[in-house]
A and B are shown apart, each in its own frame.
Chain A
Amino acid sequence: MTELRRGVLGPCVLALLELRPRFGLELVRDLAASDGLLTSDGTVYPLLNRLRDAGLVTSEWRDEEGERARRYYSITAAGQEALAAFRADWTQFAATVGGVLNHLQGDAHIAPDGGR
Chain B
Amino acid sequence: MSSSLDHPLIRDYLAELEAALAALPPAQAAELREQISAHLEEELHPDADDATVADVLARLGPPGELAGAPASPTAADLAARRARRRRTRTTWVVLGIVALVAAAWPSYVAVMHDVGSLQVRGASAWWYPQDSARQVRTEADGIVQLTVPIRSSERQGLVVDVYNPSSWTQTVTGPASEFSPGSPYGQVAVSTQPVHGSAAALRAATYGLPGVIPPHQSRAIRLMWVSIMCDERGGGTIVSQLVLQVRVGWVTRTEVVNLNPTWAVYGPSTGKYALTAPACQ
Contacts and interface: CB of A to CB of B under 8 A. Distances in A.
Nearest to A51: B74
Interface residues on A, range: 20 to 34
Interface stretch (A38-46, A98-106, A108-116): A38-46
B60 A7 contact: no
A21 to B, nearest CB: 16
What DSSP secondary structure best describes chain A's contact surface? helix
Contacts of B34: 71
A41 B76 contact: no
A24 B39 contact: yes
B32 A10 contact: no
A82 B61 CA distance: 28
B139 interface: no
What DSSP secondary structure best describes chain B's contact surface? helix
B38 interface: yes
A6 B71 contact: yes
A8 interface: yes
B61 A47 contact: no
B281 interface: no
B34 to A, nearest CB: 8
A49 B74 contact: no
A42 B140 CA distance: 104
Interface in B39-60: 39, 41-43, 59-60
Interface in A67-111: 68, 70-71, 78, 81-82, 85-86
Interface of A: 6-11, 24-25, 28, 32, 39-43, 45-51, 54-56, 68, 70-71, 78, 81-82, 85-86
15 contacts: A10-B71, A10-B72, A25-B39, A25-B42, A40-B65, A41-B60, A41-B61, A43-B69, A46-B71, A47-B69, A49-B35, A50-B77, A55-B76, A56-B74, A71-B35
